[in-house]
Structure 1
Amino acid sequence: MPKRILQGKVVSAQNDQTVTVLVERRFTHPVLKKTIKKSKKYRAHDEANAFKAGDEVRIQECAPKSKTKRWEVVSQLS
């Protein structure tokens, strides 16, 4: 089964080898038929501390790295 890949923006890079990524998703409400934005934060592993706040990145599912990290940064979007 393929691993999920999400795209988002780094909102925090203060911790060592960890970034917090905000992922937004848009969908149509089933009753109101209105487009809604929802967002969620994911903690992702950044081995080289290469990313800083404001970067657009792709994250991928992985085996648990710590108590809160289940994602790793795959690449940066330009």
Structure 2
Amino acid sequence: MLYGAMMKENDKYLLEKQHVKDSFTIWGSGIRICPGRKLATLESKCLISLIFRKYDIEIADHSNVDQSLQRIVKIKPRK
């Protein structure tokens, strides 16, 4: 156990370790890296490209933005 000045000195190291412990790495790393990361990335790209192909997406006018929903973009089906 740490007491007094020693405890205050080591607080900064505990905070740094806590930050690393609570960090989120989306695909993992090292030996525990996600084996399906490339497939998931490819599926995400395909989904985004399909959305852009089927819908017109534009930035919403800030004066018309509904504050309860806080829409940032307008999405309309393409004709």
TM-score by length of 2: 0.19
Compare CA radii of gyration and give the structure with the larger one.
2
Q: Of Structure 1 and Structure 2, which has the larger fraction of its residues in helix? A: 2
Between 1 and 2, higher relative CO (CA 8 Å, sep ≥ 6) is seen in: 1
Q: Which has the higher strand share?
A: 1
